[in-house]
Copies of this chain bind each other. A is one copy, B any other.
Amino acid sequence: MRMMYMKTSGVQLDTDYSREMLGMMEADGLLEGIEYDFDPGPDVPVVQGRDAMRRYECGILERVKKWVDSDRYDAIVIQSVLDPALFPAREISPIPVLGCLESAVHLASMLGRRFSFLCTVPVEMKMIPENLAVYGFTEKLASMRCISLPVPEVKKRLNRSAQIDAMEETAVMAIEEDGAEVVILGCTGLSWMAPELRERLKERGYEAPVIQPVWAAVAFARMLVRLGMRHSPLAYPAPIPDPDAMLMQ
């Protein structure tokens, strides 16, 4: 199986971190039998809101079109918990396109009834619930919890121990106060914390699954390729080549 793995910001720190995540997935056995290429994504700043997001998505779609046309891949994974350009990408792709958020909530819903997101920045707190409404998963959302950690410091694991302490406390609040049965890391920068967070929650008496959304997206890419399935063109129809033809629909 051949996968295109597309990162979604042009910042160098993010490129380094993405490669680190791929290394972690490799160590977890998640990439076994998968040959992948790495696309650093459109050369734009980190997305902080909806306005930047829309322009950013155009850059992603140009790249998706290029990888689709190359005919070299069985699936495309877009690395971002905000699922930028996910549905439009499916309109122009005959191969499966996976987003991290959609994958994470479908996995979470197989493991428990209600989940909470642990996020790091306001754009996640705003846009994740919007996407969940589109996906039809609003009722399964126990809560959105934000931890006050600067993302670059999280990615660099500066002050590592205090960072995990903060995550642990927030996760326990999500479980005890919000009724979360599954915890989803609402920022890819938090992915490295999952193994230790699971251990800490276990020590506190909570064997809650902790989902790394990028892991979920790669796992679903593999599943769909093995099943020989892809998104329905009835749900994500290809653009009509001749716009005048729309008059006859």
* A residues in contact (CB < 8 Å) with B: 28-30, 102-103, 106-107, 109-114, 135-137, 139-140, 175, 180-182, 206-209, 211, 215-216, 219-220, 222-224, 226-236
Q: Which residue of B lies closest to A138 (CB)?
A: B136
Q: In angstroms, how far is the closest chain B Cβ from the Cβ of A237?
A: 10
Contact yes or no, A232 B110, CB < 8 A? no
Most-contacted residue by chain B among A102, A175, A227, A230 (CB, 10 A)? A227
What residue of chain B has the Cβ atom nearest to residue A212's Cβ?
B227
Q: Judge whether A109 and B112 touch: CB under 8 Å.
A: no
Closest B-chain residue to A219, C-beta based?
A: B223
**Could you tell me if B106 and A227 are in contact, using CB atoms closer than 8 angstroms?**
no
- Given contacts A102-B110, A110-B102, A140-B136, is CB(A208)–CB(B226) below 8 Å? no
User: Do B111 and A181 have beta carbons less than 8 Å apart?
Assistant: no
| Chain B residue at minimum C-beta to C-beta distance from A114 | B235
Q: Which residues of B contact A137 (CB under 8 A)?
A: 136
Q: Is the CB of A209 within 8 A of B223?
A: no
The reply to whether B30 and A227 form a contact with Cβ atoms under 8 Å apart is yes
CB distance from A115 to the nearest CB of B (A): 9
Which residue on chain B has the smallest CB distance to residue A224? B110
A28: B residues at CB distance < 8 A: 227-228
Provide the bound-state CA to CA distance between A219 and B169, in Å. Answer: 34
Shortest beta-carbon distance, A204 to chain B, in Å?
A: 12
14 pairs of residues in contact across A and B, judged by CB atoms under 8 Å: A102-B110, A103-B110, A106-B109, A110-B220, A111-B232, A112-B232, A113-B136, A113-B235, A181-B235, A182-B234, A207-B234, A209-B232, A215-B227, A222-B226
Give A80 to B243 CA distance when docked, in angstroms: 46
Given contacts A182-B235, A235-B182, whether A229 and B106 have CB atoms under 8 Å apart is no
Chain B nearest Cβ from A216, distance in angstroms: 8
Q: How far is the CB of A222 from chain B (nearest CB, A)?
A: 8
